[in-house]
Structure 1
Amino acid sequence: MIRADTIVAISTAQGEGAIGIVRLSGPQALSIADQLFSGKRTPSRTRGGRFLYGRFLDREGETIDEGIVLVFKGPHSYTGEDVAELQTHGSVSALGALLTRCVELGARLAKPGEFTLRAFLEGRMDLNQAEAVNSLIHAQTDTARRQATLGLQGALSKRLDGMVFKLARTMGAIQAMLDYPEEGVPEEDRIVPLLAVQNELNHLLDTARAGKLAQQGARLALLGRPNAGKSSLLNALLGYERSIVTPIAGTTRDYLEAHMELVGVPITLIDTAGVRETADVIEAAGVERALQLGENADLVMLLEDASAPREPLDVNVPEDRLIRLQTKTDLGQVWHDDRYQSVSAITGAGLPELRDRLREKLLGDQARHEVWLSSERQVQAVTAALEHVQGALTLPDELASYEIELALNHLAELSGKNVSEEVIEQIFRNFCVGK
C-alpha cells in the first residue's frame, strides 16, 4: 500500500533537550533529506540501517545545526516506508527550523499517530500492537510498561490466533457434517474446542479491570470519623508528610489528594474530612463531599480507631470496593472485629499486609496473566465474541456454524483485520504527533 505523500513531525517531547528528532516517512523522505543535509554521503545513496554525520541547511544554505541522519529503507522500517530520522540538538529553534525546511521541500505535517497508522496499514503490526504503542508512551508504572511491552510484542495477538484456529477448525467440522450428515460431528470436535475458547475469553475479560487501572490509575479514598487516623495513614503510605496531623478532631475539613505508585498502579490517595454530624456549615459540606468521594472511588479504606470505644460508620460502598481497617493499634486495642485489618501508621505494623490487600483488591489474581485487555474497544470485541461462542454451544449445528462465524468476525475486529475506518480514526486520534 503506497501513499504518495511524505509526512514529517517532531518526535521528541516539547521543550529543551540534549537531542531532538524530526522524523520523515514516505516516498520522498530520503530525497528531502538529501536536499537539507550536507555530509560526505547522501541519505538516498546510503544503505538502510546506517547513519550519516553532517550539517542541516536552511533555504539559504546556512547551517541550522550539526547532527546525524538515520536512514531506513522500506519495507524494513517502522512504517514500512522509506524513513529518515534527523537528529539535532534539542532546542526549540533548531527543531522548528528543521521542520519548516522539510515542509518547504514537500513534506506535510503528520497527524497524531500517523506514523504508527502507516505501520498498521503496511502490515508491520496489527491493531492490538498499535494500541500497545500508545499505551507504552503513556505508561506511568512498571506494571503498565510491562503490559504495553507484551502487547507490542504480540502477546495478545498470539492468544487470539490460537482461539481463531480452534473456532475455524470447529466451523469446518460442522460444515463438513452439513455436507455429509451421516458422519455427524464428534463432541470432541465441537464442544471441547468451544468450551476451551469460552474459557480463554472469560480469562481475558477478567483482566480488563486490572488493565484499565494499570493504564488510567485508581482513586483510593480514606473514610472514617474524625481523628480515626486517615491523615496519618496517608502520610505513612506516601512516605512523607503530605497531610496535616493533629490530635484535634476535624483538622481535615476538605479533601486532599496525593499521587503515588502503589502495587504497580498509579494511585490518587484522597484524605477526606471526618464523618460526623455537625452544625458547622463548612464542616458539614466537607462531610458530604467525603461521602460522595467514597461512593465514586475505585477503592475505599474505612478507618476506625482501635484504641477508642467503637463508633461504627456505615458507608454506601459495596464490599468488593471496601477495606476495613483498625488504626492506632500501637495505642492498644479495645475492640476486635474479624472483618477489620489492624494497622499502625506510627510503627508501620500491618502496612505490608495492607499493600498486599490493595494489590488483591485492585488487580485480583491478574498478575499471573501474560497480557491484559487495556481498552474499551478490546473489551467490547471480546465480550461480543464470547456471546457468540456461548450461543454456538447451545444451538443446533446449522445455527452454531453461523454463531462461530460471528465470533470470528469480532476477533478479526480485535486484531484489525476486519475493522471500520471510524474505529481506526478513533484509535489513532489519541496518539501524540510524531509517533
Structure 2
Amino acid sequence: MTRLGLEDTIAAISTAPGAGGIGVVRVSGEDALRVADAMFAGRRAPGRTPGGRFLYGRVLDASGDVVDESLALVFRAPHSYTGEDVVEFQTHGSPAVLNRVLARALEAGARPAKPGEFTLRAYVNGRLDLAQAEAVLSLVNAQTDTARRQATLGLTGALANRVALIQSRVTRVLAAVQAMLDYPEEGVPEEDRETPLALAAQDLEALIASSRAGQLATRGARLALIGRPNAGKSSLLNALLGYERSIVTPVAGTTRDYLEAQLELAGVPITLVDTAGLRDTDDAIEAAGVRQAVALAGGADLILHLEDGSSPREDAALDTPADRTLHVRTKADLPPAWADAATLPVSAVTGAGLPALREAIRARLLGDAARGEAWLTTERQGDAARRALGHVQAARALPDELATLELEEALRALNDLTGRDVTEDVVDAVFRNFCVGK
C-alpha cells in the first residue's frame, strides 16, 4: 500500500464547508502527535497525553501568534477511526480559522488528505471492511432516515454478518465435497450439500432483492409524470407535494418545459418531474417539450402514466415499460367516463386515492426489501451478490466432483462483497467518491 501514501501523516478539515459554531481539523498518521505538539499550546502537549483525552489550549502559527482557542482530542493507535495516531482540533467554525489551522498542520509536516483517505486508512488497517467503508459514505450522504438507518446497519457490520453466514454455508459444502473426493464411494449427504446451498441461495436472493431499494434510498429516485394535456399531471404533483408548485390551468399545453420538485416518500428522496402533455402539435416549442417528456420518462426510475378518467379514453400516448410504470386514472372526483381495474383512481382535488398511490409507489420502488435488514446500497455490492448466487446455483446443478470450482468462485464473490479480496482499482473506485476530510 506504499503507492497510496499511507506512510504519510495527513490533515484535512473534517466539517462541512461554510461557517459554523464549531469546526474540526483532523490529523492522522505516525507523526500526528509530533505535528500536534508543534502547533498546539496548552497545559500538556498532545504527545504526552493518553488516548481518549481532551486538551484545552490554543493553536499557534509558526511565529507563535494565536490562531484560535482550541480543544485537541487525542487518539492513540490502534484505538482511533483510522487505526493510527489521530489528533482532532476543534475550533470556531469560520472558514478563515479552519483554513489557517489546516495550513499550520501542513507547515508542521502533514500533507493534505485525499478524498476518503481517512476512511481508506481505516479499511487498510482493518478497522472497517469495504462494505462498512461504503456505509460511511452512505451515512455522510444520507438524506432520509431510511438511508441513515441502512448506513448505520452497514457500519455496525450487520451486512458483513449476513454475508459471513452465507460464506459459512458455502464453506461447509466445499469442505464436504473436497472430503468426498478422498472417499468417493460415500458421497455427500444432502444435509451437508443441498440444504446449506439452498439456504445460501435464499439468503443471496434476499440480499439482491434489497439492492435496488438500497441504492434508491441512498441516491434518490426520479419519478416522471406523463400523459396527454390536461390529464392532471401538474395537479397531482401539487397534491403529492402538499403545496402549489406547478401552475394549473384548464388550457391544454400550459406545461411546455419540465418542472422538478423534491419530496420524501417511504424513506426515499424523490424528484418528481412534471412534463409537457403528450400530443401531436405544430407548435415548435410544445413539440420540443413533448420530445423532452419522452426522454425524461425513459430515464426515470418510475413513471406515473396519467389518464383523465372524466373524459372518453384515448389510446395510450406512450408505450412505457410495465415494470417501471404505474397507470393512474385522474379526476376521480368527477363522474367517470371509463373504468379500468389496472389503473389507480386518484383525485388531486379531494385527495381520494393519494394514500393508495403513495403505497403503490413505495411498493414499486422498494418492493419486499422494505421489510428486510441491512440492504445492499451500491451497484458493486449488488454485482458481487449476483455473481455469488450464480456460482451457488451452478454448484447445485453439478455432481459433487465438479462443484468445487463453482463453490470457490462463490466464496471469491462473497469476499469481493465485503472487500476481503479486491484489487486496488476497486478500492480506488470506492474511495474517490468520498469528500476530503472523511
- Specify the SS of the correspondent of 1:381: helix
Structure 1 partner of 2:286? 283
Alignment of 1:265-276 (within 5 A): 265-276=268-279
How far apart are residue 374 of structure 1 and its match? 1.3
- Which residue identity lines up with residue 147 of structure 1 in the other structure? Q
- How far does the alpha carbon of each residue in 1:175-232 deviate from its partner, in whole angstroms, 9 at most, with x for none? 1111122332111111111111111111111111111211121111111111111111
Tell me the amino acid that sits aligned with residue 428 of structure 2.
E
**Structure 2 length normalisation: TM-score?**
0.96
From 393, 415, 429, the counterpart of 1:426: 429
Given candidates 199, 204, 223, the residue that maps to 1:201 is 204
Deviation track 1:38-74 (CA, whole Å, cap 9, x = no partner) reads 1111112222111011111000100000010011111
How far apart are 1:8 and its partner, in Å?
A: 0.6
8 Å CA contact 1:326, 1:340 repeated in 2: yes
Residue 346 of structure 1 corresponds to which residue in structure 2?
349
- What residue ranges of structure 1 are gaps of 5+ in the alignment? none
- 2:388 and 2:37 map into 1 onto residues whose CA distance is 50
SS at 2:193 equivalent: helix
Q: Are 1:388 and 2:391 matched, yes or no?
A: yes
Match of 1:369 among 350, 367, 372: 372
**Partner secondary structure for residue 80 of structure 1:** coil
Aligned to 2:75: 72
2:125 matched to 1:122? yes
Identity %: 62
Q: Deviations over 1:349-369 (max 9, x none)?
A: 111111011001111111111
SS of equivalent residue, structure 1 residue 23: strand
In the other structure, the counterpart of 2:250 is 247
Which residue in the other structure is 2:37 paired with? Answer: 34
Where structure 2 has 5 or more consecutive residues not aligned to the other structure, the ranges are none
1:328 and 2:326 correspond: no
* Conservation of the 8 A alpha-carbon contact between 1:20 and 1:89: yes
Partners of 2:395 and 2:331 in 1: CA distance: 56
Find 2:340's aligned residue among 316, 320, 337.
Answer: 337
1:400 corresponds to: 403
Contact 2:228 2:317 in 1 (8 A): no
TM-score when scaled to structure 1? 0.97
Q: Which amino acid aligns with 1:164?
A: Q
**1:227-246 alignment, distance < 5 Å:** 227-246=230-249
Q: How many pairs align?
A: 435
Structure 1 position 35, deviation (Å):
1.7
Q: Is the 8 A contact 1:342 1:350 kept in 2?
A: yes
Could you tell me how far 1:257 is from its partner in structure 2? 1.3
Q: Report the CA distance between 1:154 and its aligned residue.
A: 0.7
Distance 1:110 1:402 in 2: 42
1:401-416 aligned at under 5 Å gives the runs 401-416=404-419
Q: How far, CA to CA, are the matches of 1:286 and 1:104 in structure 2?
A: 56
Give, in whole Å, the separation in 1 of the partners of 2:406 and 2:218: 33
The aligned amino acid for 1:155 is A
Contact 2:279 2:317 in 1 (8 A): no
Separation of aligned partners in 1, 2:84 and 2:144: 32
- Larger mean Cα displacement after TM superposition, 214-223 or 68-77: 214-223
Question: Which of 208, 219, 226 in structure 1 is aligned with 2:222?
Answer: 219
